[in-house]
Amino acid sequence: MHNDTIALAKALIARRSLTPFDNGCQEILISRLEPIGFHIERIRCGEVDNLWARRGTGSPLLCFAGHTDVVPTGPLDKWESDPFKPEIRDGKLYGRGAADMKGSLAAFVTAIEAFVAEHPNHGGSIALLVTSDEEGVATDGTVRVVEALKARNELIDYCIVGEPTCVDKLGDTIKNGRRGSLSGTLTVRGIQGHIAYPHLAKNPIHLAAPAIAELAQTQWDEGNEYFPPTTWQISNMNGGTGATNVIPGEVTLLFNFRFSTASTVESLKARVHEILNRQNLDYHLVWELSGKPYLTPRGDLVEAVSCAIRTLTRIEPQLSTSGGTSDGRFIADICPEVVEMGPRNATIHKLNEYVEVEDLKQLPQIYRLTLENLLLK
């Protein structure tokens, strides 16, 4: 199983699957899943390939979720080897997507194969949800599969997302939730004019400054046991004509909340509008919700994964909700228990991305033992 995992990871890395293109990766997975009894559904949306594969009809349903798309390579001359020609050097498997997350996909499949070979009549069901639209805009990927499953009332009991979560050693971190992401495009309007005649104009940057200061200093919540406090940050600010003698007519800010379950979308929006209105600003604000926060407290899934890690690595995993968003935010809509657990994340999205070969030997064992913990009760 160990060597097979590495070989499968290499086959996937060799596919140039820059988001949103799958480039045949899912067909490689299907060729392994169909012979062991998986029912295959290909769900294509625009340029995005999605896969829903399920073995069994009973409950509980344990789903492994991931993505085949990868981020751009960056300058090829900065790579020590071709990013789409996987290569093992010094105990590391190099290639774009090695850690994020073709190594996990390979481990999913070989773990399932080993489990089914040993327990062909296992209880419950096993599923694999794979998309090629996770690294991009994420509008035609996992969210579409979840919508299709929800429409036919096909719900998931447990889900493991194979995102790279670990820091120093394989198994040291399980993500049991993620913060939500709420963005805003704020335009504050003034009156354009000659900079030598400020009494004939209204500078929107000056007008917006007190509100910006208040927004930056506001404590939105205190977080909770699993989440740090909610944060608000400006990412872009643009105003002016480019001339040094013109007061601009408007200024536009792009900002983002990373928010915990201690706040809601509605409460954050209301507080922002209250501050802007109190400052008597003439403004226009467009909101965009990228994902709600989700949280899986300690329970069957967290314990099953933790037990597998402890058994195989002697490490006590830590629960974390740090980092950005993942497709877990969509799956949580139809699944009460979602966690992320995969290899170390030190090189994801970087030049010379790699996954430790030893991690690829242990990771499928962790997934296999988790299957036993949940489906052989």
The per-residue pLDDT for range 107-123, each reduced to its tens digit, is: 999 999 999 999 999 99
Q: How many CB atoms lie within 10 A of CB 137?
A: 12
Dump pLDDT digits (tens) for 135-174. 998 999 999 999 999 999 999 999 999 999 999 999 999 9
Name the residue type at position 222.
E
Q: Is 134 a catalytic residue?
A: yes
Question: Does the pLDDT at position 2 exceed 70?
Answer: no
Q: Which of 22, 49, 69, 356 is catalytic?
A: 69
pLDDT above 90 as % of the chain: 94
pLDDT digits (tens, 9 = 90+) for 246-257: 999 999 999 999
pLDDT in tens, 281-304: 999 999 999 888 999 999 999 999
Is residue 314 within 8 Å of 307, Cβ to Cβ? no
Q: What is the pLDDT of residue 290?
A: 87
Residues 6+ apart with CB under 8 A from 80: 89, 94, 352
Per-residue pLDDT tens for 186-226?
Answer: 999 999 999 999 999 999 999 999 999 999 999 999 999 88
pLDDT of 367 = 98
Backbone torsion region of residue 178, taken as left when φ is above 0, otherwise alpha when ψ lies between -120 and 50, otherwise beta: beta
Question: pTM to 2 decimals?
Answer: 0.88
pLDDT, tens digit (0-9, with 9 covering 90-100), for 11-23: 999 999 999 999 9
- Tokens found for residue 244: 């040094």
| Nearest Cα residue to 322 out of 231, 234, 227 | 227
Looking at 22, 100, 134, 337, which residue is catalytic?
134
The predicted structure's pLDDT at residue 323 = 82
First-last CA distance in the chain: 24
H, E, C per residue of 273-317: HHHHHHCCCCEEEEEEEEECCEECCCCHHHHHHHHHHHHHHCCCC
Model confidence band, residue 59 (pLDDT cutoffs 50, 70, 90): very high
Active site residue 140: no
At residue 1, does pLDDT exceed 50? Answer: no
Residue with tokens 């601009």: 248
The phi, psi pair for 150, rounded to 5°, reads: -65, -40
Q: What is the chain's length?
A: 377
* Mean model confidence pLDDT for the chain: 96
Cα–Cα distance measured from residue 164 to residue 359, given in angstroms and rounded to the nearest whole number:
11
**Separation of alpha carbons 107 and 104, rounded Å:** 5
